[in-house]
């Protein structure tokens, strides 16, 4: 299966893959997300996925595939679980950074708000459903705002799973792996999700992803 909805902010063309730069300075999100958190999350965790993926691909015939093609080709392939997990985490994190903004959060405007109102009845209902999805994901994973057939929906995925393998277009995501928030919020994931929604969401990026 080919992924229908490519995202140029998260995709890369071919091996060797690189750690993308953050779209903001590491201290720009403070006090809502610390530079220390980003130094570990981006500089160590995301970097490790990139390095692991490149190592796995050194002797592979998949080197010429794009990151999204790798995700599509190795999804549910038990022989290539390592490639899928690392490729998907590179993509998920690359996408996630653009979901954050120093001037983010709050209630959006324009087309994205209209679609949220149409899909969830109100922005407040959207926030409730998104927070529930993010806080009830057991263990590591992601909460997603997705678009398919001009309708928005919210899903959660575990570990490295990503809904782009199912033909959805990713509009927004919140990383709920512990390394995303533990240094700033310890075990208080609900507080982290509230901060994400109220202070950090890059609604301009979300709107740019709409079909």
Q: Which two tokens stand for residue 181?
A: 């928030």
Compute the chain's Rg from CA coordinates.
16
Tens of pLDDT, residue by residue over 52-66, are 999 999 989 999 999
Over the chain, what is the mean pLDDT? Answer: 95
Residues 6+ apart with CB under 8 A from 56: 82, 83, 86
Tell me if 22 sits within 8 A of 58, measured CB to CB.
no
pLDDT, residue 211, reads 81
Say yes or no: domain 110-208 is CATH 3.55.40.20.
yes
- Could you tell me which residues come within 8 angstroms of residue 6 by beta carbon, excluding any fewer than 6 positions away? 68
Q: Please tell me the distance from the alpha carbon of residue 70 to that of residue 84, in angstroms, as a whole number.
A: 7
List, in order, residues 6 or more apart from 187 with CB less than 8 Å away: none
- The DSSP annotation for 155-176 comes to EEEETT--GGGGTPEEEEEEE-
For 92, how many CA atoms within 13 A lie in the half-sphere containing its CB? 33
Note the pLDDT tens digit of each residue in 87-97: 999 999 999 99
Q: How far apart are CA 199 and CA 100, in angstroms?
A: 9
Domain 35-98 matching CATH 3.90.1200.10: the answer reads: no
Residue 177 has pLDDT above 90, yes or no: yes
For the segment 150-160, the average pLDDT, to the nearest whole number, is 95
Q: Which one, of 115, 105, 103, 207, lies nearest residue 153 by Cα?
A: 115
Domain ranges of the chain: 35-98, 110-208
Distance of CA 54 to the CA centre of its chain: 20
pLDDT higher than threshold 60 for residue 126: yes
Which distant-in-sequence residues (6+ apart) come within 8 Å of 132 by Cβ?
none
What is the residue whose two structure tokens read 């926030």? 127
Predicted pLDDT at 3:
55
Question: How many Cα atoms are found within 13 Å in the side-chain-facing hemisphere of 198?
Answer: 10
């Amino acid at each position: 299966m080919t992924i229908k909805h490519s995202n140029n902010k998260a995709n890369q063309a071919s091996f060797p893959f690189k750690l993308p730069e953050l779209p903001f300075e590491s201290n720009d999100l403070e006090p809502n997300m610390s530079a220390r958190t980003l130094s570990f999350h981006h500089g160590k965790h995301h970097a490790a996925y990139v390095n692991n993926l490149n190592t796995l691909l050194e002797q592979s015939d998949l080197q010429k595939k794009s990151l999204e093609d790798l995700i599509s080709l190795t999804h549910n392939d038990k022989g290539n679980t390592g490639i899928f997990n690392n490729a998907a985490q590179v993509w998920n994190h690359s996408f996630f950074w653009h979901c954050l903004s120093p001037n983010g959060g709050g209630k959006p405007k324009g087309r994205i708000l209209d679609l949220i109102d149409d899909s969830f009845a109100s922005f407040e209902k959207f926030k409730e459903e998104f927070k529930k999805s993010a806080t009830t994901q057991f263990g590591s994973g992601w909460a997603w705002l997705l678009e398919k057939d001009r309708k928005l929906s919210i899903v959660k995925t575990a570990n490295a799973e990503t809904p782009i393998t199912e033909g959805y277009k990713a509009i927004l995501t919140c990383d709920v792996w512990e390394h995303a928030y533990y240094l700033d919020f310890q075990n208080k994931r609900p507080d982290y999700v509230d901060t994400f929604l109220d202070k950090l969401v890059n609604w301009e990026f979300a709107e740019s992803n709409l079909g």
